[in-house]
Amino acid sequence: MKPDLFEAPDYYNLDELLSDEHKLVRQAARDWVKRDVSPIIEEYAQKAEFPEQIISGLAEIGAFGPYIPEEYGGAGLDQISYGLIMQEIERGDSGVRSTASVQSSLVMYPIWKYGNEEQRKKYLPKLASGEWMGCFGLTEPDHGSNPGGMTTNFKDKGDHYLLNGAKMWISNAPFAQVAVVWAKNEEGRIHGLIVERGMEGFSTPETHNKWSLRASATGELIFDNVKVPKENLLPNKSGLGAPLGCLDSARYGIAWGAIGAAMDCYDTALRYSKERIQFGKPIGQFQLQQKKLAEMITEITKAQLLAWRLGVMRNAGTATSAQISMAKRNNVDMAINIAREARQMLGGMGITGEYSIMRHSMNLESVITYEGTHDIHLLITGLDITGLNAFQ
Ligand SMILES: Cc1cc2nc3c(=O)[nH]c(=O)nc-3n(C[C@H](O)[C@H](O)[C@H](O)COP(=O)(O)OP(=O)(O)OC[C@H]3O[C@@H](n4cnc5c(N)ncnc54)[C@H](O)[C@@H]3O)c2cc1C
């Protein structure tokens, strides 16, 4: 793979909206991605393997629980810093960002928000340091966009719960020590349970042959009469709103992360357009190629403004789930379109692993599907503005 020469575009001087702390946090993440991710990521994506050696680096840059309070091992940062870290990591690879998103927003967040003090103290510091990795089990083979239909269930057996069912498409599942699992009790109410590797009847087979997010491990969670201790139930929130609250936090991170992937594709295509000579000129001198680049930087700038404004509202606690949906949907769509255009600008070289673009392009096919598909987020916006439910 070519050396990482990335220079971040900032067409509207958005750095003026950031604090010194934001810029320091971003720089640390950017330097780490250049040093520890870019040189190895193509090889790991090619062999479809998660590079476990980067876990400690992710912890060091604050990617595990950026906004979780320091007393629980988190970085105690604000939402914009969280977003900037996700942007920088996804600039390297969406699969690596997925690992960090799951750990922070889908595992640490519910334990912090819905757990009790003993659970916070037991799990959060180990998850923040990367000593333990976590996964989040919501999706099932027959229930993806409609998680409320889930059939995974648990029964009260007096001194423990008995958990049965299966989850599918679970990021980090093959190596996670801890799974936050959403299941229905005997009354059909959804609760979160912390399931640990090693519990009898719990297995995590890996999902192979993915053409997307190849550097992220994906698997199933199988529960065959798993005895879960009663103290592993998250006591402070139940119902579908509990997992959806976690998804809000993760989707917000994705809205920033997708900008990173788009910036990397744009920056690569811009540099290539000045170096690649055809018909005696750099291809960047042709109007058709300039149109692509001009539209890319326009869309990136709009996405940056959307993410920054959403971050300000998240810091104030006023961002709605529907506003987060809009940013996730728009920014991932923006990134996937830019990846496709940038790929074409590199001609044949665009399909090789010499450049990051094809990997970003394939990764974004998952990002546009998970955490609510592109169409589901449109329906969320539609419901929000009309008050009319078009889901069913
Ligand atoms: C690589 C990867 C990692 C993932 N990681 C996780 C994870 O860590 N944890 C987890 O719980 N899940 C995870 N997922 C699952 C992901 O969230 C689901 O794939 C996603 O929610 C879509 O569900 P589905 O695949 O079952 O598609 P379906 O729900 O079957 O949807 C199929 C199509 O139908 C459309 N559709 C569905 N309902 C409607 C409707 N009402 N109106 C119009 N169109 C509709 C959808 O938009 C989609 O285009 C992951 C997925 C992938 C690919």
Which of 326, 312, 307, 313 minimizes the C-alpha distance to 383? 326
Are the C-beta atoms of residues 128 and 100 closer than 8 Å to each other? Answer: no
State yes or no: pLDDT of 243 exceeds 90. yes
What tokens does 344 get? 């074409």
pLDDT value at residue 200 = 98
One-letter amino acid for residue 163 of the chain: L
User: In this structure, what are the phi and psi dihedrals at residue 65, rounded to the nearest 5 degrees?
Assistant: 80, 50
Q: Tell me, letter by letter, the H, E, C secondary structure of 37-73.
A: HHHHHHHHHHCCCCCHHHHHHHHHCCCCCCCCCHHHC
pLDDT value at residue 233 = 98
pLDDT confidence tier of residue 110, bands split at 50, 70 and 90: very high
Closest residue by Cα to atom 35, ligand 1, is: 375
**258 CA from centroid of ligand 1 (Å):** 18
By DSSP bridging, strand 202-203 and strand 218-229 are: antiparallel
Is CATH 1.10.540.10 the right assignment for the domain spanning 14-129?
Answer: yes
Which of 11, 31, 86 minimizes the C-alpha distance to 260? 86
Largest CA distance in the chain: 79
State yes or no: pLDDT of 390 exceeds 90. yes
Among the CATH numbers 1.20.140.10, 3.30.420.40, 1.20.1560.10, 3.40.50.970, which is that of 241-386? 1.20.140.10
Percent of the chain with pLDDT over 90: 99
- Active-site hit among 90, 220, 341, 371: 371
What tokens does 100 get? 């960090």
Task: Give the residue, out of 104, 206, 369, 389, with the most ligand 1 atoms within 8 A of its beta carbon, to mutate for a pocket test.
Answer: 369
pLDDT value at residue 1 = 78
One-letter amino acid for residue 189 of the chain: R
Closest residue by Cα to atom 6, ligand 1, is: 170
- Name the 3-class secondary structure at 256: helix
* pLDDT tens per residue, range 156-170: 999 999 999 999 999
User: In this structure, what are the phi and psi dihedrals at residue 209, rounded to the nearest 5 degrees?
Assistant: 65, 30
User: In this structure, what are the phi and psi dihedrals at residue 214, rounded to the nearest 5 degrees?
Assistant: -70, -25
* pLDDT tens per residue, range 111-144: 999 999 999 999 999 999 999 999 999 999 999 9
pLDDT value at residue 258 = 99
Which residues fall within 8 angstroms of residue 236, CB to CB, at 6 or more apart?
A: 113, 114, 115, 116
* pLDDT tens per residue, range 185-218: 999 999 999 999 999 999 999 999 999 999 999 9
Task: Give the residue, out of 145, 377, 389, with the most ligand 1 atoms within 8 A of its beta carbon, to mutate for a pocket test.
Answer: 145
Which position has the token pair 């001087």?
Answer: 13
**219 CA from centroid of ligand 1 (Å):** 15
**Per-residue pLDDT averaged across 166-179, rounded?**
98
Burial class (CB in 10 A: 0-12, 13-18, 19+), 381: middle
pLDDT confidence tier of residue 71, bands split at 50, 70 and 90: very high
- Which CATH number applies to 134-238? 2.40.110.10
State yes or no: pLDDT of 173 exceeds 90. yes
* 371 assigned to active site: yes
One-letter amino acid for residue 16 of the chain: E
**Per-residue pLDDT averaged across 88-113, rounded?**
98
From the CB of 182, is ligand 1 less than 6 Å away? no
pLDDT confidence tier of residue 63, bands split at 50, 70 and 90: very high
pLDDT value at residue 314 = 98
For ligand 1, what atom is nearest to the CA of residue 139? 11
| H or E element, residue 163 | strand 160-171
From the CB of 171, is ligand 1 less than 6 Å away? yes
* pLDDT tens per residue, range 276-333: 999 999 999 999 999 999 999 999 999 999 999 999 999 999 999 999 999 999 999 9
Percent of the chain with pLDDT over 70: 100
* pLDDT tens per residue, range 325-371: 999 999 999 999 999 999 999 999 999 999 999 999 999 999 999 99
From the CB of 285, is ligand 1 less than 6 Å away? no
**75 CA from centroid of ligand 1 (Å):** 31
**Per-residue pLDDT averaged across 68-80, rounded?**
98
Which position has the token pair 């993760």?
Answer: 250
| Mean pLDDT over the full length of the chain | 98
User: In this structure, what are the phi and psi dihedrals at residue 72, rounded to the nearest 5 degrees?
Assistant: -105, 15
By DSSP bridging, strand 134-137 and strand 178-184 are: parallel
Q: Taking the domains of the chain in order of start, what are their residue ranges?
A: 14-129, 134-238, 241-386
Q: Alpha helices, DSSP H only, in 223-320?
A: 241-275, 287-316
For ligand 1, what atom is nearest to the CA of residue 210? 1
pLDDT confidence tier of residue 2, bands split at 50, 70 and 90: confident
pLDDT value at residue 317 = 98
What radius of gyration do the chain's Cα atoms show? 21
**Per-residue pLDDT averaged across 150-154, rounded?**
98
**Per-residue pLDDT averaged across 21-44, rounded?**
98
From the CB of 373, is ligand 1 less than 6 Å away? yes
Handedness of CA 57, 63, 66, 71 (dihedral sign): negative
Q: Count the Cβ atoms, other than its own, within 10 Å of residue 258.
A: 34
